[in-house]
Amino acid sequence: MKKNLTALILLFLSINFVAAQSDARKILDEMTKKINSYTSVSIDFSIVHEDNQNQTISNENGRITAKGKDFCKFKITMPDSEIYCDGKTKWLYMKTVDEINITLADFDSEEMSDNPVKFFTVDRKDMKYSYKKTFTENQKQLNEIDFYPKDRNAAYSIIRLHIEKSTNHPLSIKYFGKDGNNYTINVDKITPNLIIDDRIFDFDTAKYPDAEIVDLR
């Protein structure tokens, strides 16, 4: 009897998990389809860092401007740094140390600094994912999807994505770190289909004559 009951519980859990994956897949596909329908996009965001060990919270704002096929041309502006990519070359200017790092663009990377628009879709092959719930916050209906790394040695345990149901836009991504450091990236505003001059994605090192240039190409 106990064996039959255990089997039924496992079957119930597996059915629920498959259904949750299917729901999550549909929501992620709709989000990706919506973002990829734009010819260009501007994303205002904020990053909140919670250090649970030292009981501190820090916050900084930034903006992403991107266009082109797969948004391969982009600019990321933050208080201490700027990143420019013309589709082939990437420049990272670190204001606090007056240093410029030059690298080749890497669009296979899933880091925000290499592929910022793709980063916000959080659709990674190295993770499992599951639909958790739909809830209302600030008069908006949000879908919640959790991602779990397949690699047990990953630095985080969960990535939690919130997607606005009416727009299919990502609204927040939270990384739960195993070391007690949590990072939440909030999407404050998405403005699509802007007319953007390609020149804003070029970085002119001549404008920074005193900066140290590190060419890693």
Confidence of residue 42 (pLDDT cuts 50, 70, 90): very high
Round to whole Å and give the CA distance between 131 and 142: 11
Q: What is the mean pLDDT of the chain?
A: 86
Kindly report the backbone phi and psi dihedral angles of residue 105, in degrees, each rounded to the nearest multiple of 5, phi listed first: -65, 140
Domain 2-215 class? mainly beta
Share of the chain above pLDDT 90, in %: 63
99-104 vs 140-149, strand pairing mode:
unpaired
Residue pair 79/93 in contact by the 8 Å Cβ criterion: no
Confidence of residue 8 (pLDDT cuts 50, 70, 90): very low
Confidence of residue 56 (pLDDT cuts 50, 70, 90): confident
Average pLDDT (160-168) is: 95
Confidence of residue 149 (pLDDT cuts 50, 70, 90): confident
Report which residue type is found at 177.
Answer: G
Distances (CA, A) of 13 to 7, 56, 62, 124, 172: 10, 38, 41, 24, 28
- Where along the chain do its domains lie? 2-215
Residue 24: pLDDT above 60? yes
Average pLDDT (66-91) is: 94
Average pLDDT (196-208) is: 93
Round to whole Å and give the CA distance between 77 and 62: 5
